[in-house]
Chains A and B, each alone.
Chain A
Amino acid sequence: MKTTETPAPVPADSGTPVAKTDTRGGPARKEKKKEGGVLNVFSHGMLILWAFMVVMPLLWAVMTSFKDDSAIFNSPWALPDKLHFDNWSRAWTDANMSDYFLNTILVVAGSLIGTLVLGSMAAYVLARFDFPGNRFIYFLFIGGMSFPIMLALVPLFYVVNNMGLLNTIHGLILVYIAYSLPFTVFFLTAFFRTLPTSVAEAAFVDGASHSRTFFQIMLPMAKPGLISVGIFNFLGQWNQYMLPTVLNTDPDKRVLTQGLVQLAASQGYKGDWSGLFAGLVMAMIPVLVAYIIFQRQVVAGLTAGALK
């Protein structure tokens, strides 16, 4: 990484990318190289420093999750004396992490399926059919991407309460779906517009109904788009904190993020910090693994909205 610090006389390896066509004098070239060297060290330094700053807190959390409580307090950066796996098992059973996981999986599975099915239905109709009100409904959906959710949250609480859906898993699922629709519809409408019309028309001429055409032909064709937007929604719904905090106050129905925050608050009495760190790390693992596996699709899904 430091090869450019010393001015190398070999042109092919030199820092200036224009070495071959550079017809100007030697001194100018040397000067630029020197400036490039300083900048290079600084830039690489910054890149490495930031990578370090991202990774260190995560490593620290993993390390801490294997320590006992006194070690956490007395020497925060020391390596654990031995691997205290009991922290993990204690967090999993005693601190209810297993329940929080189960609740989160139920809520996210239901919401994700619902979001994809309903989102693609709406997007397909909006992208492919001309009817009065089409533009209005489209903008109504995507308008939801930019307004502060908190404003709607107060009346939403009472809407959900009046329907008897407060503190229920299916209530949470319905609300998650509703709040995931703006981005999903936005993304999938653009996607359906790019798919060729000829296949769908051929199917229709062959006597397939509109919904049959959709489920058997268009949906399979839209698979890449569904995967991108699905991963985006998975991350968002798995990590959701504000909606469950307001709509889900029953201790037995808590999702992961809520459960951990509650756990941290109650640790003041119990003092089980090591168990809490084990819980934190446990909650991080599924999303980090999902990200590493589906890295390309995650990036595509997340950037598509902001780039348009």
Chain B
Amino acid sequence: MQHGKYRFIVGFLALPLGLYALFVVWPFIQSIYYSFTDWTGLSPEFKMVGLDNYRRMLDDEIFWKSLQHSLIFALVLPLVTISLALFFSFMINVGGRKRRGGPVVTGVRGSSFYKIVYFFPQVLSIAIVALLFAFAYNPDSGAINSILRGIGLGSVQPLWLGDPSLALWAVMAVLVWSTVGFFVVLFSAGMASIPADLYEAALLDGAGRASTFFRITLPLLWDTVQSGWVYMGILALGAESFAVVQIMTTGPGGPDYSTTVMVLYVYQKAFRDGQAAYATTIGVALLVVTLAFAALVMRLGRRERLEY
């Protein structure tokens, strides 16, 4: 087995590792370095400016707004999405009634249909979803306001994306719509691996649905919920929120920066305003927020691992 082993290893690793280092690792390291310079991105010249960019960031009102919005995204989105998904997947996998001759633990009728349908939005590009909802939110001819008119609420015609106090929530609702299905499927896979005799025992003891959920399903699913939480938070801070905010809100960034999130601000500073160094500084702040978020969730969620 030894003959030519190292030549083989190097031959097989060189290309993938090279591409990865060139397009992912190297830019990543560079961006931290650039955050200490005054590089515009337009010309190759720049000089070191120490912590100037970081000082400027702390005085930047729009940065604080974007940070605030990103934090709302990272906290509210996982909470809403995961709660909904836990409820749905519990109903789909455990909430059913025993049918004669069937398994003890079963989902409600039509559960496989629900699982397939709920997942639909997940396979669509977030860009397409964002476009679709931008039309649905249109105050005059959009689907949502026309439903409101249809059910006699003609006086309630919000501007949705045009209203600074509503725009952020309207955008977040779209992300909830598009991600719940993924978590339903994820949690369903987790629930399928919980042994049925645990449920059987609980049912014999007379446990209802609620206590079955809180005493058995949730504790045994905790690891999955936690990693789902981190995953959703990273999405909410990163690419997904960029697409929805950039596409859906006017400006972009919403009326009076009411929907600007950190990723969008990085993009605007780098590619619209020609302030590449400052953009990477906000990017570093985004990295810190992401890591802090993940660490916090892991820490708060830590509990004794249950073996089964």
If A50-B88, A174-B19, A260-B131 touch, does A241 touch B243 (CB 8 Å cutoff)?
A: yes
Q: Are B15 and A60 in contact (CB under 8 A)?
A: no
Binds B, one of A80-88, A121-129, A221-229: A121-129
A76 within 8 A of partner (CB): yes
Q: Which of B212-270 contact A (CB under 8 A)?
A: 224, 227-228, 231, 234, 237-239, 242-243, 246-247, 263, 266-267, 270
A residues in contact (CB < 8 Å) with B: 1, 4, 12-13, 15, 17-18, 21, 24, 32, 35-36, 39, 43-44, 46-47, 50-51, 53-55, 57-58, 60-61, 64, 72-77, 118-119, 121-122, 124-126, 129, 131, 137, 140-141, 144, 146-160, 174-175, 177-179, 181-182, 185, 201, 204, 209-211, 214, 235, 238-242, 245-246, 256-258, 260-261, 264, 273, 277, 280, 283-284, 287-288, 290-292, 295, 298-299, 302-303, 306-307
Residue of B nearest to A58 (CB): B120
Interface digits, B172-208 against A, CB 8 Å rule (1 contact, 0 not)? 0000010011100110011000000000000110101
Q: Are A121 and B189 in contact (CB under 8 A)?
A: no
Q: Are B8 and A291 in contact (CB under 8 A)?
A: no
If A235-B123, A284-B124 touch, does A154 touch B31 (CB 8 Å cutoff)?
A: yes
Q: Which of B1-59 contact A (CB under 8 A)?
A: 1, 4-6, 8-9, 11-13, 15-17, 19-20, 22-28, 30-31, 34, 41
B interface: dominant SS: helix
CB distance from B278 to the nearest CB of A (A): 10
> Once bound together, how far apart are the Cα atoms of A181 and B280, in whole Å?
23
CB distance from A116 to the nearest CB of B (A): 11
Q: Are B98 and A159 in contact (CB under 8 A)?
A: no
Q: Are B27 and A306 in contact (CB under 8 A)?
A: no
> Once bound together, how far apart are the Cα atoms of A270 and B178, in whole Å?
30
> Once bound together, how far apart are the Cα atoms of A93 and B28, in whole Å?
40
Q: List 28 A-B contacts (CB under 8 A).
A: A15-B97, A17-B203, A24-B206, A39-B209, A47-B91, A50-B114, A54-B120, A55-B117, A57-B177, A60-B136, A124-B12, A140-B25, A144-B20, A148-B237, A148-B287, A154-B27, A174-B23, A179-B24, A181-B20, A210-B5, A211-B11, A241-B127, A261-B247, A303-B185, A303-B189, A306-B186, A307-B186, A307-B227
> Once bound together, how far apart are the Cα atoms of A17 and B99, in whole Å?
8
**List of A residues within 8 angstroms of B9 by Cβ:** 125, 129, 131
> Once bound together, how far apart are the Cα atoms of A295 and B84, in whole Å?
22
B140 within 8 A of partner (CB): yes
Residue of B nearest to A74 (CB): B141
